Amino acid sequence: MTDVSGAAADVLHTLFHSEQGGHEQVVLCQDRASGLKAVIAIHSTALGPALGGTRFYPYPNEAEAVADALNLARGMSYKNAMAGLDHGGGKAVIIGDPEKIEPPQRTALLLAYGRFVASLGGRYVTACDVGTYVADMDVVARECRWTTGRSPEKGGAGDSSVLTAFGVYQGMRASADHLWGDPSLRGRTVGIAGVGKVGHHLVEHLLNEGAEVVITDVREEAVRRITERHPSVRAVASTDALIRVEDLDIYAPCALGGALNDDTVSVLTAKVVCGAANNQLAHPGVEKDLADRGVLYAPDYVVNAGGVIQVADELHGFDFERCKGKAAKIYDTTLEIFARANQDGIPPAAAADRIAEQRMHEASPARGR
C-alpha cells in the first residue's frame, strides 16, 4: 500500500490508471452557506459499507486534500480487512482549520457535511479522525444515521482513541516477542512522537508495564500535560531529536503520516517502529530500507485498528469489553504478519498487504462483484 500525491491531473491518473487507485467513488462536497469544502473517498465496499473517519485539516490546496483522502481511504480498506471487520475502506477530509472556526459556523458546516454523507445511502459510514471529536459526530448524526464515534449520551461508544492506543500497545508487545523473544516492555525505551488523543493513552500503558518513555509533540501543552502527571517521562524538543535518542528500542509515530522517509530512516536508532499514525511510509521502498537496516516495522494500519474496531461495534450495540477483546487480537495478527514476512522473504508491510488483499479478493464474489 503506497501513497498518492501530486496535482489534480495526477489525482485523476491515480484514480483510473495506477496501482494505487481503484477507488470506487470520490465525492467533492461544497456548501457555500456554511463554508464547507470536503472530499469523501470510498476505496472499496468488497467487505461491506466503507468505514473511516473524517479528518478536519488546513490543507495547503484542494489537490493535497484529495490526495490525502485517497491515501487514507485505501488504508482503511486494508485496516478493516486485517481487523476482520465486515467493512470496506473510506475516508473523508474537510478542508479548513478547525481551531479557527467559531462554534456556530462549525455546527452549520458539520450539519452540511452530514447531509452529504447521508446522500450516499450507507455506502460510507463516518467517525472521528484528526481534527474532529465525539461532539462533532453528535452534530453530524443529526443529519446522518451512518455516523459512529458519538457520545454515550447519544447512543455512541465515545472516544475511540482509548482502544486505538490499546491496539498499538498490543502491536508493540507482539513486536517485542518476535524480535527479542519476550512480549514484556519492562525496561524498554519507547519514544512517542505525538501525545494527543492516542499518544497520551499509550504513555499510560507503557508506564504501567515499566517501560521508559520519551516524548515529543509540536504542542507544548500536550507535552506539559504528560510530564506534569508523570515526572519520569522525558521530553525532547523535536521528532528529529527523538529518533536519534541513544538506546531507543521502539519508535512510535503517533501524529500525522509520512514519518518514515529517507532522512528519518537513515538516522533512526530504534529497532522497532510501531505507532498509531496512518500512512507512516512516505513513499514506496521505505519498508525495504527499514528491513535492510534491521528495523522491524509493525504495519500502521494493523496496529492502529483498535479505534475502528470500536466504532464498527457501535453500529451493532456497543460493548466495550467485547471490543477490547477484539482489539487484543491485534497481538496475534501482528505476529501472523511477521511470520508471513519471514516465510515469503518480504518486509512486514508487504506481507500485511498480501493478507489484506487476499481477504478482499475472496470476499468480492460473495458480495456479487
Q: Which residues are catalytic?
A: 91
Instruction: Give the residue from 118, 121, 125, 127 showing the smallest Cα distance to 50.
Output: 125
d(CA 342, CA 334): 13
Question: Sheet harboring 212-216: ordered strands across?
Answer: 234-235, 212-216, 189-193, 250-253, 272-273, 296-297
**Helices 161-180, 199-209: crossing angle, 10 deg rounding:** 50
Q: Which three cell numbers stand for residue 310?
A: 470500536
* Strand pairing report for 88-95 and 212-216: unpaired
**Crossing angle of helices 161-180/306-314, nearest 10°?**
140
Within a 10 A sphere around the Cβ of 124, how many other Cβ atoms?
Answer: 28
Q: How far is CA 290 from CA 1, 269, 275, 287, in A?
A: 16, 11, 15, 5
Q: Is 185 exposed, middle or buried (0-12, 13-18, 19+ CB in 10 A)?
A: buried
DSSP 11-55: HHHHHHHSTT---SEEEEEEETTTTEEEEEEEEE-SSSSEE--EE
User: Which residues face 215 on adjacent strands?
Assistant: 192, 235
Report how far residue 136's alpha carbon sits from residue 154's, in angstroms, rounded to the nearest whole number: 12
**Alpha carbons 138 and 110: distance in angstroms, whole number:** 10
3-class SS at 259?
coil
Task: Check: CB of residue 237 under 8 Å from CB of residue 261.
Answer: no
C-alpha cell at 284: 514506496
Rounded Cα gap, residues 319 and 313, in angstroms: 7
